[in-house]
Amino acid sequence: MTTNKSNIIYTITDEAPALATQSLLPIIQAYTSSANINVETKDISLAGRIIANFPKYLTEEQRINDELALLGELAKTPEANIIKLPNISASIPQLQATIKELQTAGYNLPDYPEEPQNEAEQSIKLTYAKVLGSAVNPVLREGNSDRRAPGSVKQYARNNPHSMGAWSKDSKSHVANMASGDFYGSEVSTTVSGATDMRIEFVDAAGNVSVLKEKVALEDKEVIDASVMSKKALVEFFEQEIEKAKEEDVLFSLHMKATMMKVSDPIIFGHCVKVYYKDVFAKHAATFEQLGVDANNGIGDVYAKIDRLPAEKKAEIEADIQAVYETRPPMAMVDSDRGITNLHVPSDIIIDASMPAALRASGQMWGPDGKQKDTKFTIPDRNYAGVFQAVVDYCRENGAFSPTTMGTVPNVGLMAKKAEEYGSHDKTFTAVSDGVIRAINVANGDVLLSQNVGEGDIFRMCQTKDAPIQDWVKLAVSRSRLSNTPAVFWLDENRAHDAEIIKKVNQYLPEHDTDGLDLRILAPTEACKHTLERCGNGEDTISVTGNVLRDYNTDLFPILELGTSAKMLSIVPLMNGGGLFETGAGGSAPKHVQQFEKENHLRWDSLGEFLALAASLEHVSQFAENPKAKILADTLDAATAKFLEENKSPSRKVNELDNRGSHFYLAMYWAQALAAQTDDAELQSQFAPVAQALNNQEQKIVQELNDAQGVAMDIGGYYFPNVEQASKAMRPSETLNTILSTLL
Ligand SMILES: NC(=O)C1=CN([C@@H]2O[C@H](COP(=O)(O)OP(=O)(O)OC[C@H]3O[C@@H](n4cnc5c(N)ncnc54)[C@H](OP(=O)(O)O)[C@@H]3O)[C@@H](O)[C@H]2O)C=CC1
Ligand SMILES: O=C(O)CCC(=O)C(=O)O
Ligand SMILES: [Mg+2]
């Protein structure tokens, strides 16, 4: 893909951010056209990715290019300048719903074959696997991550603190994790010497060898590791903790990352579903087998499949599910009004957002009665569970953090080239029987790593390449220097993988000027305690972490500090010189779309988009030597600061300022800043009348935007909305639209 140096790619994604784009992008395009910057869109939505992968089934007009693949290539070039909004990482139920919507819209796509019966179905399933789970971010993230709250955003939170639920010293909430038999306990790791290929194979108890993965290329000096989650230990753990939750009188809750960890975590989730609802699964085993119920898709899959049964049988199973709640501890709920539990769908409770939300709400979740209650946060594996327990302990002891006084915790995250666990899904396997799974060096037949496995155990291998580690160490030093802030590497010398990474950190740190910097290495739980102490004292600390803690920490600290991770600056300096500017650190906020459909109010906060756009324009100004881009970036920064000062973020309530109104204010402040600057007379004269018009019409525009609300809104689809309808819905102010059109 070739691009003009002043090209910016703006991604079309899903749900709330995709709706917000219908309103914000026309403003961005109108403003940037004045600096010869072309803001082009690329569709990486879930529906778009499905369409792109099945050309054979579609008409000529329906086919679209695989724009994700194009962007993946672009991300490896110095020209890349991509603004990436959050997208859905689909679970199977979400994928099926999207396929259905597309079929209804006339797209002749095949159904998702849950249990393929022949080769053709197997191939369809494999193609759908390409769009399942976290299939976008790892492709674009050809760099490490730098996520932080800009000074103006942090100051805004200090001046306008969000609510924080009070903590009780008697809180019974706690994190439950396994004591053995998990990934943490079994991990082995090594650093590869010399580029080679590896093969992953399974050896059964009788010595028969079968190949699980033919070939994985290994680079010189990369770190590889292998670990196993024992099914037996996991199931026993769930049994015990579910029983204990009842005795302890707390809600039972499970926190996984079934999207990023799309192979291992749905299986772990499925075991929990089968244990919690074991009476139902035992009594109806034959029926479930016949219906093809898959517990990995949650108890919701039972509800979906029993629809096909005669009414009487269906009612019996439903009654049996209800009876489970009499004997089991109360579940943490996703939606207590509709009886949706935390075990309904694996994509409803995603650990990075769900744990901080609970920690912010007095360490509690919502029970079946719609009331908050202390909770057992079940996080089976020990690798990162201790981090959340450290927050629980700190808040129980010291009370909730105060957004007015707490410090800030930016993150430098190791992410490039599918680093660590988040690149493991193509090397994750369930053992079909007892035996050994091992990685063989294809060049000489040596065993690189091996693990004993029992039937049903989950084996996984991770890769972490050397160049990204070097880049990450460099980024950590430079962020620490530039922001004059101590930095802690969250690495556990007792964990095999981390021990290899620590060797590299110690090797690469001396290559940089670290004079006077406070850099240290602490195991994650200790690092978290240290950081929390400092945070409570108003001190800032950079967390330098691997890929998983990058994800967790960049929701955890922003949600405590700012109320949401939507306000984060989220930059990925691409290793080949380009820039990927992610917006916020959160997701696509399905709850916001529900509200939008119900009452035409979108509470999505686009602050992350504003910050990303300013960083992207700054990148254009440097890369393309475009001085107008620099002015656009600086004035956008000024406008964003004013936007915060004036408190123009969307309200949560209908008929008040929403996402669209917040975009109007940004546009007005941006035009004012452009009209006020004197470095570029052309821009000044272009924007003076725009600023004037927006100013004069402020009342009218806000009225038009707010009056449109309060009615149900149909945009012709959820995963595949009608673009014209969505655009019309998101641009209800004719006055604003007319003023913007004068710039084009
Ligand atoms: N970078 C990416 O592409 C990411 C994608 N995802 C995907 O997003 C989906 C939903 O994930 P989930 O775990 O529910 O997390 P989300 O971050 O989407 O939502 C959690 C809550 O965070 C708040 N929130 C998030 N973003 C904003 C925003 N811009 N403005 C205001 N509030 C915001 C909302 O709280 P409230 O309702 O209280 O207003 C929201 O309900 C999944 O499909 C997931 O895979 C998740 C993370 C990152
Ligand atoms: O890609 C995903 O599924 C989620 C990514 C995410 O949560 C993050 O990077 O913070
Ligand atoms: Mg995240």
ipTM of the complex: 0.98
Phi, psi at 43, each rounded to 5° = -90, 115
With contact defined as beta carbons under 8 Å apart, do 730 and 18 qualify?
no
Q: What's the length of the chain?
A: 744
Q: Which two tokens stand for residue 212?
A: 């699980």
Q: The whole model's pTM is what?
A: 0.97
For residue 584, the CA-to-ligand 1 centroid distance in Å is 9
Question: What pLDDT sits at residue 460?
Answer: 98
**Mean of pLDDT over the chain:** 97
Span between the terminal Cα atoms of the chain, in Å: 26
For residue 559, the CA-to-ligand 1 centroid distance in Å is 11
For residue 630, the CA-to-ligand 2 centroid distance in Å is 30
What secondary structure, in 3-state letters, does 636-703 show? Answer: HHHHHHHHHHCCCCCCCCCCCCCHHHHHHHHHHHHHHHHHHCCCCHHHHHHHHHHHHHHHHCHHHHHH
Which ligand has the nearest atom to the CA of 596?
Answer: 1
> Alpha-carbon dihedral of residues 388, 393, 394, 400, nearest 10 degrees?
90
The CA-atom distances, in angstroms, between 464 and each of 220, 221, 259, 744 are: 11, 9, 20, 47
Question: What pLDDT sits at residue 398?
Answer: 98
Q: Candidates 94, 259, 355, 567: which one to mutate for ligand 2, based on the most atoms within 8 Å of Cβ? A: 259
* Residue with CA nearest ligand 1 atom 45: 89
The SS3 of residue 256 is strand
Q: What is the Cα–Cα distance from 402 to 643, expressed in whole angstroms?
A: 23
Tens of pLDDT along 705-724? 999 999 999 999 999 999 99
From the number of C-beta atoms within 10 Å of its C-beta (0-12, 13-18, 19+), residue 419 rates as: buried
For residue 669, the CA-to-ligand 2 centroid distance in Å is 31
CB-ligand 2 contact for 411 (6 Å cutoff): no
Q: Which two tokens stand for residue 600?
A: 């035409």
Tens of pLDDT along 191-202? 999 999 999 999
* Residue with CA nearest ligand 1 atom 48: 587
Q: Candidates 137, 543, 545, 569: which one to mutate for ligand 2, based on the most atoms within 8 Å of Cβ? A: 137
Q: What is the Cα–Cα distance from 198 to 315, expressed in whole angstroms?
A: 52
Mean pLDDT value across residues 591-612: 97
Q: What is the Cα–Cα distance from 7 to 411, expressed in whole angstroms?
A: 28
Amino acid at 228: V
Question: What pLDDT sits at residue 625?
Answer: 86
For residue 86, the CA-to-ligand 1 centroid distance in Å is 8
Contact residues of ligand 1, CB 6 A cut-off = 86-89, 137, 259, 347, 350, 353, 564, 566, 584, 586-591, 603-605, 608
The CA-atom distances, in angstroms, between 581 and each of 184, 286, 611 are: 33, 50, 9
For residue 438, the CA-to-ligand 3 centroid distance in Å is 31
Q: Candidates 564, 601, 653: which one to mutate for ligand 1, based on the most atoms within 8 Å of Cβ? A: 564
With 80 as the cut, is the pLDDT of residue 1 above it?
no
Q: Parse the chain into domains and list their residue ranges.
A: 7-142+574-741
With 50 as the cut, is the pLDDT of residue 645 above it?
yes
**Cβ count within 10 A of residue 607:** 27
* Residue with CA nearest ligand 2 atom 3: 134
For residue 558, the CA-to-ligand 3 centroid distance in Å is 11
* Residue with CA nearest ligand 1 atom 15: 587
When pLDDT is cut at 50, 70 and 90, the band that residue 4 belongs to is low
Closest C-alpha among 557, 582, 499 to residue 142: 582
Instruction: Give the contacts of 437 (CB within 8 A, at least 6 positions apart).
Output: 200, 201, 202, 203, 212, 226, 228, 429, 431, 450, 451, 453, 459
Question: What pLDDT sits at residue 666?
Answer: 98
Amino acid at 448: L
Atom of ligand 2 at shortest range from CA of 587 = 7
DSSP-derived letter for residue 442 is T
Q: Which long-range contacts (CB under 8 A, 24 or more apart) does 287-295 make?
A: 287/313, 287/317, 292/114, 292/115, 294/92, 294/114, 294/270, 295/270, 295/271
Which ligand has the nearest atom to the CA of 349?
Answer: 1
Question: What pLDDT sits at residue 235?
Answer: 98
Atom of ligand 2 at shortest range from CA of 585 = 10
Tens of pLDDT along 543-594? 999 999 999 999 999 999 999 999 999 999 999 999 999 999 999 999 999 9
With 80 as the cut, is the pLDDT of residue 257 above it?
yes
Region label for 157, one of left (φ > 0), alpha (ψ between -120 and 50) or beta (otherwise): alpha
With 60 as the cut, is the pLDDT of residue 403 above it?
yes
Region label for 65, one of left (φ > 0), alpha (ψ between -120 and 50) or beta (otherwise): beta
With 50 as the cut, is the pLDDT of residue 2 above it?
no
* Residue with CA nearest ligand 1 atom 1: 86
Atom of ligand 1 at shortest range from CA of 260 = 45
% residues pLDDT > 90 (the chain) = 98
